[in-house]
Structure 1
Amino acid sequence: MMSGTGENTGVRMPTVQAILSTPNFERQRAFYEGLFGAVQTMRYPEQGEVFYAGFTIGDSVLGLVNEPGKDKSPTPGFALSVEVDDVDALLATVEANGGRVLGPPNDMPWGQRVAHVNDPDGNMVNLTSGGSEGQGLAG
């Protein structure tokens, strides 16, 4: 089992972390900071052109890898789901932050309100609010 700690840095890393590669690091950074209030907590290297940056969104970590010239095609079958206070209010700001709204929000039978959007690279992002934590999951 992995410890989740950076071997040389002593920085505690999450057991599971979403990492997105992007040909336009600044555009993706601006989207996640603007829409979700992501806060950069790690950057490598510290000086010069960034290769990797870690951001906290609530109690989670999102990594962005800078790959200029890489095809920005999203990964099929992948969706990043982010719990937010108000899906409808946040949905109104998606396009101003460089994303694309894919449709109106829906109320799910398990109590969540969900809307689907694309980030600037086309990755699927689910905006969710409400519902009970862990509801509907086998335990």
Structure 2
Amino acid sequence: MQSILSTPRFDRMLAFYAGVFGAVETMRFPEEGDVFYVGLRIGDSELGLVNEPDAGHEASARYALSIEVDDVDALLGPVEALGGKLLGAPNDMPWGQRVAHVHDPDGNLVNLTR
């Protein structure tokens, strides 16, 4: 399974996922000219970004990406520096995970987990 996000702010979203999570581009279509789609690898997962300049700016509250990271706290600065928003302090969950909830630049919910 792969998650795909459509965004009217393609360059900003690409910079966010590359800068915060170290996402590596695995595919670009078309290879030259105005980009429509970029496939990204984050760890052992895939994320697609679709460049849709006419798409709305509102994110769905029913969708969240959960990304396993090495250090939740260390990523909070890059999240905000790259246009994301911290939704509260990180929490230690009873089941052993450390979790922070953030929004990416388009307002999509992203859970940082360790």
Same fold by TM-score, threshold 0.5 exceeded? yes
The two structures, once aligned, show a CA RMSD in angstroms of 0.7
Match of 1:54, SS state, is: strand
Q: How many residues align?
A: 114
TM-score, reference length from structure 1: 0.80
Aligned with residue 112 of structure 2, among 111, 115, 127: 127
Structure 1 range deviating more: 84-93 or 111-120: 84-93
List runs of 5+ in structure 2 lacking aligned partners: none
Bigger relative contact order, structure 1 or 2, given CA contacts below 8 A and separation 6+?
Answer: 2
Would you say 1:22 and 2:17 are equivalent positions?
Answer: no
Which 4+ stretches in 1 moved above 4 angstroms? none
Would you say 1:87 and 2:72 are equivalent positions?
Answer: yes
Would you say 1:116 and 2:101 are equivalent positions?
Answer: yes
Structure with the higher helix share, 1 or 2: 2
Q: How does 1:91-106 map to 2 (within 5 A)?
A: 91-106=76-91
1:47 match: 32
Report the residue type matching 2:3 in the other structure.
Answer: A
Would you say 1:65 and 2:46 are equivalent positions?
Answer: no
How many Å separate the matches in 2 of 1:25 and 1:93? 18
How many Å separate the matches in 2 of 1:92 and 1:112? 20
Q: How many percent of aligned residue pairs carry the same amino acid?
A: 68
TM-score, reference length from structure 2: 0.97
Task: Describe the superposition over 1:2-60 as per-residue Cα deviations: whole angstroms up to 9, x where unpaired.
Answer: xxxxxxxxxxxxxx000000001100000000000000010111111111110000011
Rg (Cα) greater in structure = 1
